[in-house]
Amino acid sequence: MTLPKDIHLNAPARLGCDLSGTTEAMNIKNIQFNMSPLQLTGDGAYKSTGKSSSYVFDIKSNAFSLEEVSKMVPSIQEYQLVGKSSVTAKVASAPQGPDVKGTAQLQGVSANLQQAKLVNIVSAIDFTMRDAAGKLTADELKHEYFYGKKTGC
């Protein structure tokens, strides 16, 4: 799976958190990111030593409407997403860019892919994504079909 290099969001967003520590080591607690209907919460840490820095965040989303979120991301509007999703993920620094691992729970999802409509085919996704040359790619994508048959991609 490859996402566009430039993702433009058409929605206002709010971010809040509690910070503690120093400029070299910072704890970031009670992260609250709201871009209605998507809400993310979590905790994280940032460390800086010399010319290198690292970070790790654990995040969780609310159950959000894919249709509403796709209205905010022009590059995915053509897929006409329907249904709900919630996500839990760990985002960590890596030499090639953010390393994102987590789970997306899907409910009643359908999408149009190259004029072929897919309805209720996936109920859960485990993913690993890495940023390589400005693109997000899924290194591992495991999915569970709607009827419970597990398989890998």
Longest dimension (CA), the chain: 53
**25, containing H or E segment:** strand 25-35
Highest mean pLDDT among 32-41, 102-111, 142-151: 32-41
Tokens read off for 126: 């485990």
Judge whether residue 65 has pLDDT over 50. Answer: yes
Task: Kindly tell me the burial class for residue 106, based on how many C-beta atoms sit within 10 Å of its own C-beta (0-12, 13-18, 19 or more).
Answer: buried
| Domain annotation covers residue 39 | yes
| Contact criterion met (CB below 8 Å) for 142 and 152 | yes
| Domain annotation covers residue 77 | yes
Q: Report how far residue 133's alpha carbon sits from residue 87's, in angstroms, rounded to the nearest whole number.
A: 24
Which residue segment(s) compose the domain that 70 sits in?
14-152
The DSSP bridge pattern shows strands 52-61 and 82-92 to be: antiparallel
DSSP code of residue 2: B
Judge whether residue 121 has pLDDT over 60. Answer: no
Confidence of residue 39 (pLDDT cuts 50, 70, 90): very high
Look at residue 125 in the predicted model and tell me its pLDDT: 58
| Domain annotation covers residue 145 | yes
Q: What is the pTM of this model?
A: 0.66
**12, containing H or E segment:** none
| Domain annotation covers residue 6 | no
| Domain annotation covers residue 134 | yes
Q: Report how far residue 111's alpha carbon sits from residue 70's, in angstroms, rounded to the nearest whole number.
A: 11
Using the structure block, give the residue that is written with the tokens 């419970």: 148
Judge whether residue 35 has pLDDT over 80. Answer: yes
Q: How many domains does the chain have?
A: 1
| Contact criterion met (CB below 8 Å) for 82 and 111 | yes
| Domain annotation covers residue 5 | no
